[in-house]
Structure 1
Amino acid sequence: MRLTKKVRQQLLDQNEGFETTTHYSSKNFREDKKYTISNGELRIRSKGKTSWADSHFDKECVANEEQTKTFLRNHLGDLNTDGLE
């Protein structure tokens, strides 16, 4: 399936409420990301910390086109694709 802009938007619209999380950890860095499809867009919340004492972070943003395309490609098997070509 080609993930054209139209197909990406259809996937987002018919998978309203879909959520998944990822976790990354290394020696000096830890991050948890929560991906949520809401209102026809992919939202990403990133929480974590680095080795610095005051380096906690908690950010949320709307994914750009490239992030959305990558997410959809990686999770296509988990999403509802009924009616898509």
Structure 2
Amino acid sequence: MTSEARQQLLLQNEDFELTTGFSGGNFTEYRRYWVTGGELRYRSSGKTSWADSRFDGEYVATDEQTHRFLREHLDELNTDGL
């Protein structure tokens, strides 16, 4: 998927949101993804088995993360014209 195609998908899917979760072993993570301003953003929160190991942060996805996200969720996105 070219960078132009990724940018077009992001623009066509402004305000798209998705929440995912993972729990395994001693690790739990929840991610809320959303598309805004032509970029993919996400909030990651969770914990590990250590008592002080909670985490919570908001990030802009890298090009690689954006590519993987769009590829994995292509069937949920508006792909008209692509």
* Structures share fold, TM-score greater than 0.5: yes
The one-letter amino acid paired with 2:6 is: R
Tell me how large the CA RMSD over aligned residues is: 0.7
Give the whole-Å Cα distance in 2 for the aligned partners of 1:5 and 1:29.
33
**Structure 2 unaligned spans of 5+:** none
| Corresponding residue SS for 1:7 | helix
Aligned residue number for residue 50 of structure 1? 48
| Corresponding residue SS for 1:8 | helix
Q: With structure 2 as the length reference, what TM-score do the two structures score?
A: 0.96
Aligned residue number for residue 36 of structure 1? 34
Q: Percent identity?
A: 62
Describe how 1:4-43 pairs up with structure 2 within 5 A: 4-43=2-41
Count of residues in correspondence between the two structures: 82
| Corresponding residue SS for 2:58 | strand
Aligned residue number for residue 81 of structure 1? 79
Give the whole-Å Cα distance in 1 for the aligned partners of 2:23 and 2:2.
33
| Corresponding residue SS for 1:82 | coil
**Structure 1 unaligned spans of 5+:** none
